[in-house]
Homo-oligomer: A and B are copies of this chain.
């Protein structure tokens, strides 16, 4: 039987890598979209490429510039925050998932894919509005009115999971976590201070494990 195509928004982080392996397990023919959106460091793009190659799935790197982004992820002059303020943090990139999902919808329509996967979740994270389930549901409805032909289903299988649970899923699926990159800073080793590091390290610790990226 011919496999159904699925597009994955793939950052090379722990969440999207787990999502990619989940979609693969569900027998989709994967097309991973890796976005170069002007991140300060390219380490996550390299991680994404490496994992796509390990998983033996098609991928493409798409340049998506967001010229007005004031995020600390895209501005060299801004430091990534080291503590969680309870508010939307400076790492937030205005409309990032809205733009990425729009590209995915365009690509899906173009190649006849009926599924788009995104690793968004809200349990742990920093309150990014474009990771919320109600946004994803409504956006799915909107794109189905704005495209030609087949309806697309947006899958967000991790939406209600926390980092510990995502790591558990990933371990079962054989996700090569040692090649994923989550740290907002692109140094040799994870900074262990940014939100993304802290949630990740904490998730491994809750399972009695050590994040495989940390120095031994």
Given known A-B contacts A65-B63, A111-B68, A138-B141, A146 and B97 have beta carbons under 8 A apart: yes
Please tell me if A105 contacts chain B, counting CB pairs below 8 Å.
yes
Q: What sequence of 0s and 1s flags, for each residue 85-126 of chain A, a beta carbon within 8 Å of any chain B beta carbon?
A: 000100010111111011101110111000000000000000
Q: Do A99 and B95 touch across chains, with their CB atoms under 8 A apart?
A: no
Q: Do B103 and A129 touch across chains, with their CB atoms under 8 A apart?
A: no
Given known A-B contacts A142-B138, A146-B129, A105 and B110 have beta carbons under 8 A apart: no
Per a CB cutoff under 8 Å, which of B66, B105, B134 touches A98?
A: B105
Q: Do A94 and B69 touch across chains, with their CB atoms under 8 A apart?
A: no
Chain B residues lying within 8 Å of A101, measured Cβ to Cβ, are 102
Summarize A's interface: helix, strand, loop or mixed: helix
Chain B residues lying within 8 Å of A96, measured Cβ to Cβ, are 106
CA distance A67 to B143 in the complex (A): 19
Q: Do A146 and B141 touch across chains, with their CB atoms under 8 A apart?
A: no
Please tell me if A77 contacts chain B, counting CB pairs below 8 Å.
no
CA distance A129 to B66 in the complex (A): 25
Q: Do B148 and A142 touch across chains, with their CB atoms under 8 A apart?
A: no
Per a CB cutoff under 8 Å, which of B62, B111, B141 touches A142?
A: B141
CA distance A60 to B65 in the complex (A): 13
Please tell me if A189 contacts chain B, counting CB pairs below 8 Å.
no
By beta carbon, the residue of chain B nearest A65 is: B63
Chain B residues lying within 8 Å of A40, measured Cβ to Cβ, are none
Q: Which residues of A contact B (CB under 8 A)?
A: 60, 62-70, 88, 92, 94-99, 101-103, 105-107, 109-111, 129-130, 132, 134-135, 138-139, 141-143, 145-148
Closest 3 CB pairs of A and B: A95-B106, A135-B145, A102-B102
Assuming A60-B67, A95-B146, A99-B102, what are 17 further A-B pairs, CB within 8 angstroms? A62-B67, A64-B64, A68-B107, A68-B110, A70-B110, A92-B148, A94-B106, A94-B107, A94-B147, A95-B103, A95-B106, A98-B142, A98-B146, A129-B147, A130-B147, A138-B141, A139-B146
